[in-house]
Structure 1
Amino acid sequence: MLMITSKPPPIDDPGGLDQTEAAALYRLMTWLSPAFPVGAFSYSSGIEWAVEAGDIADATSLYDWLAAMLSCGSGFCDGVFLAATHRGAAAGDKSALREITELAAAFVPSRERALETTSQGRAFIDIARAAWNCDRLGPLIAACDGAIVYPVAVGIVSAAHAIPLAPTMHAFLHALVSNWISAGARLIPLGQTDSQRVLAALEPVVAATAQRALNASLDDLGSATFRADLAGLRHETQYTRLFRS
């Protein structure tokens, strides 16, 4: 049985949030909520094939698969792209944004993975412009000059709204893991309690991956989750599918 063993950090300041902090928290909770309509529920990032192949069969094997994807695969890489984008957008570096956007779009290993991340990125940008627009957002989007993948979209929008990078990173990786668990729960299937056990057990992995991504540069990009990459490729020809990737 998966159990969380790490203790939460002590609360140093019991006071409330100021207006800026409260607005940032509200927006992050909204944008990275499962209810935010970017269509994340329709993608499994190859988990559907992994379940059919028997690689994922229960809560423990789901945890092992997701921990690897997060720390050694697409989770870490997406975190690096988010951080680089946020910093480039905050500095107004249009040249950097264009290069990051191009590299991030080229970094996906399969056609379905490209569909997943570009579709979510486009939806995130469109909804942000429709409901959460601000003066800086339009010029930053225009500077990208190409298909915007999901972590790049989150980096642009959060920087445009002056939301700090660190909480954005943690919220993004939490949302990513939550969606993966949701897919696994429907496919294995898992009950709600086991799903929460997996999410709780992944907390230190999310925190460690977030810290690595925050300290990394684009030169540190790299993935070693070959089985997960193959799962994404094989899903394209899977006979029976519930998910788009």
Structure 2
Amino acid sequence: MKPAPQTSPLQLQRLLQLCSANLPVGGFSFSQGLEFATENGWLTDSASTESWIEVNLAESIAQTDLPIINRLYKALNVGDTKAFIYWNEHIVACRESHELLLSDLAMGKALMRLMNQLDDFNITPYSGLLEGLDCSFVSAYSLCAFTFNLDLLLAQSGYCWTYIDNQVAAATKLVPLGQTQAQNLLFRLSNNCEALIARANDVSDNDIGNSLPHLTMASAWHESQYSRLFRS
């Protein structure tokens, strides 16, 4: 068995910083359709919440976001600006509702703005890469992780955690779930990430992307939901 690449303490700290709930990019302003799903009675307890997040993680994140992170990393490794821009535009085109598109672009813009303002972080070599383009959070995240010298698997693992943590935090408020239930969900859902990442890295270019009607409709209907805690 090939040994896993060793991660330095600084790399681990940068990964934790990039995936922290305290990162001011607005990720916890959005529920990714989960608020409407709860309002409509699709999610009523820990089991139904786990199923919702698990399906979206396996059929959306692992089928679209993770394979594109792989390709963005490859583009950055060889300095292929055209490929990086192509996959950024591809992921933006995969957002199937206004809410999903808004969250992706708003978070991407916020992360790039933050990185340009950090005193001890030099993103100058890449600062013009996405200038004038709609920047997906996936692209901004990949760019930061690459610049932090994180290997691909660490970056993908962190991205999975960010999604799971966001969804469980939203469900804790909305379903609602108890704190112990939430922690159990985090354990069970993160157990699947290694296999999902391996599957995602085998997805061919032509197979990237997926349509999840339940997620798309919940996200679209959330725009007109009478009472909302989250943005749409």
**TM-score in same-fold range (> 0.5):** yes
Query: In the alignment, what sits opposite 1:3?
Result: none
Report the AA paired with residue 56 of structure 2: M
**In the TM superposition, what is the alpha-carbon distance from 1:126 to its structure 2 partner?**
1.4
**In the TM superposition, what is the alpha-carbon distance from 1:202 to its structure 2 partner?**
0.8
Match among 34, 39, 50 for residue 37 of structure 2 = 50
Structure 2: how far apart are the matches of 1:147 and 1:139? 19
Q: Deviations over 1:116-142 (max 9, x none)?
A: 0111111111112222532xx334342
Residues 1:70 and 2:43 aligned together:
no
What pairs with 1:218-237 in structure 2 (closer than 5 Å)? 218-237=205-224
Structure 2: how far apart are the matches of 1:159 and 1:109? 27
2:225 partner SS: coil
Report the AA paired with residue 138 of structure 1: T
Answer whether contact 2:62 2:200 (CA < 8 A) is retained. no
Report the AA paired with residue 126 of structure 2: L
Query: In the alignment, what sits opposite 1:96?
Result: 83
Answer whether contact 1:184 1:190 (CA < 8 A) is retained. yes
TM-aligned CA distance change 1:242 to 1:173, over 3 Å: same
Match among 169, 172, 176 for residue 189 of structure 1 = 176
1:45 partner SS: coil
Structure 2: how far apart are the matches of 1:23 and 1:123? 23
Structure 1: how far apart are the matches of 2:73 and 2:155? 9
**In the TM superposition, what is the alpha-carbon distance from 1:204 to its structure 2 partner?**
2.8
Structure 2: how far apart are the matches of 1:60 and 1:169? 25
Return the TM-score normalized by structure 1. 0.87
Identity %: 27
TM-aligned CA distance change 1:38 to 1:75, over 3 Å: farther
Query: In the alignment, what sits opposite 1:170?
Result: 157
Query: In the alignment, what sits opposite 2:22?
Result: 35
Match among 195, 202, 205 for residue 215 of structure 1 = 202
Residues 1:138 and 2:124 aligned together:
yes
Give me the CA root mean square deviation. Answer: 2.0
Identify the range of structure 1 (150-159 vs 62-71) with the bigger mean alpha-carbon deviation.
150-159
TM-aligned CA distance change 1:102 to 1:127, over 3 Å: same
Question: Unmatched 5+ residue regions in structure 2?
Answer: none
Return the TM-score normalized by structure 2. 0.91
Answer whether contact 2:164 2:190 (CA < 8 A) is retained. no
Query: In the alignment, what sits opposite 2:142?
Result: 155
Structure 2: how far apart are the matches of 1:170 and 1:78? 12
Identify the range of structure 1 (138-147 vs 33-42) with the bigger mean alpha-carbon deviation.
138-147
Report the AA paired with residue 23 of structure 2: F
**In the TM superposition, what is the alpha-carbon distance from 1:224 to its structure 2 partner?**
4.2
Q: Deviations over 1:52-95 (max 9, x none)?
A: 11111110000000000000124541112222112211221111
